[in-house]
C-alpha cells in the first residue's frame, strides 16, 4: 500500500502549494528587477562602481570584486573574500543593479562586524546539506525495514535541518538589504526617489527566501503527516 500512498497521497497538495509559492516569488523578483533595470541611475554609477564605493566607505579593503557569468547570480563569498557580481549587475548603471550590488556588499559588512546570524548560517551549511541529502534515503530505509520508526524519525529530523537553515537565512538576507538601503541613502550613488526603487527590488528578492522557507516547511509537514504518526500504530 505504501507505494500507492507515496505517489498518490493527498499530502502532495502541500508540495504543489510550495512549488506555486516558490514559482510566484521567483517570477515576482524577476519582473521587479526587469522593471527597475530600465531606470538608469542619475549618478551613472555601475553595479561595480557602487560595490567599490560601499566597500571603501565601510573600511573593507580585503574583498575583491569579480564579474561572473549569469543573470542575478550575484553572491558574496566570505571564505575567499570575493564579491561576485553577475554581468547584468556589474556592468549595468540601472537602479536595480546598484541595489543588488549594495545587497551583496551588505553581506561583506556583516562579515566584517561578525554578524552572528551570518556566522551561524555558515556554520550549519554542511550539516544542513547533509541532512537534506540523507533525509529521504533514511526515511525510505526505515520504511523498507518494516516501518522502523527510529530511522524514520532520524530522517525527519535530518530534513528539519534544511528548514533550520532557511529560517536562519531570513534575518541574514533582510539585514543585508537593510544595511544596503542605509548605505545607499547616505551616498551620492542614487537619489532619494531611487532609494524607493531599490527597496522594492530588495523586498522582492527577500520574498524568494521567505518562499523557500515556506516550501521547505510544507515538505517537512508532509513528511510528518505521512510518517510521524506511525509510532502510534506500533
Q: Which residues are catalytic?
A: 104
Query: What is each CA distance from 140 to 6, 11, 62, 134, 136, in whole angstroms?
Result: 10, 17, 47, 10, 6
Helix, strand, or coil (residue 9): coil
Residues 6+ apart with CB under 8 A from 71: 86, 87, 88
Provide the grid cell at 61: 579593503
Contact of 218 with 17, CB cutoff 8 Å: yes
**Secondary structure class of 7 (helix, strand, coil):** helix
β-sheet bridge partners, residue 85: 67
C-alpha cell at 206: 527577500
Radius of gyration of the chain measured on its C-alpha atoms: 21
Angle subtended at Cα 107 by Cα 66 and Cα 62, rounded to the nearest 5 degrees: 55
Amino acid at each position: 500500500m505504501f507505494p500507492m500512498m507515496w505517489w498518490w497521497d493527498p499530502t502532495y497538495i502541500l508540495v504543489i502549494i510550495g512549488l506555486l509559492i516558490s514559482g510566484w516569488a521567483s517570477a515576482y523578483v524577476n519582473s521587479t528587477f526587469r522593471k527597475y533595470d530600465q531606470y538608469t541611475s542619475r549618478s551613472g554609477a555601475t553595479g561595480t562602481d557602487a560595490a567599490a564605493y560601499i566597500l571603501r566607505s565601510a573600511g573593507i579593503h580585503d574583498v575583491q570584486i569579480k564579474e561572473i557569468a549569469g543573470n542575478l547570480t550575484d553572491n558574496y563569498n566570505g571564505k575567499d573574500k570575493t564579491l561576485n557580481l553577475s554581468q547584468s549587475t556589474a556592468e549595468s548603471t540601472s537602479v536595480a543593479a546598484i541595489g543588488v550590488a549594495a545587497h551583496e556588499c551588505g553581506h561583506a559588512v556583516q562579515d566584517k562586524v561578525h554578524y552572528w546570524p551570518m556566522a551561524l548560517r555558515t556554520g550549519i551549511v554542511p550539516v544542513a546539506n547533509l541532512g537534506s541529502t540523507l533525509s529521504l534515503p533514511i526515511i525510505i530505509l526505515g520504511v523498507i525495514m518494516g516501518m522502523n520508526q527510529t530511522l524514520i524519525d532520524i530522517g525527519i529530523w535530518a530534513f528539519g535541518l534544511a528548514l533550520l537553515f532557511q529560517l536562519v537565512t531570513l534575518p541574514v538576507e533582510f539585514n543585508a538589504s537593510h544595511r544596503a538601503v542605509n548605505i545607499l541613502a547616505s551616498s551620492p550613488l542614487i537619489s532619494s526617489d531611487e532609494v524607493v526603487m531599490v527597496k522594492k527590488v530588495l523586498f522582492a528578492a527577500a520574498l524568494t527566501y521567505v518562499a523557500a522557507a515556506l516550501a521547505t516547511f510544507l515538505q517537512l509537514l508532509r513528511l510528518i503527516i505521512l510518517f510521524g504518526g506511525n509510532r502510534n500504530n506500533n
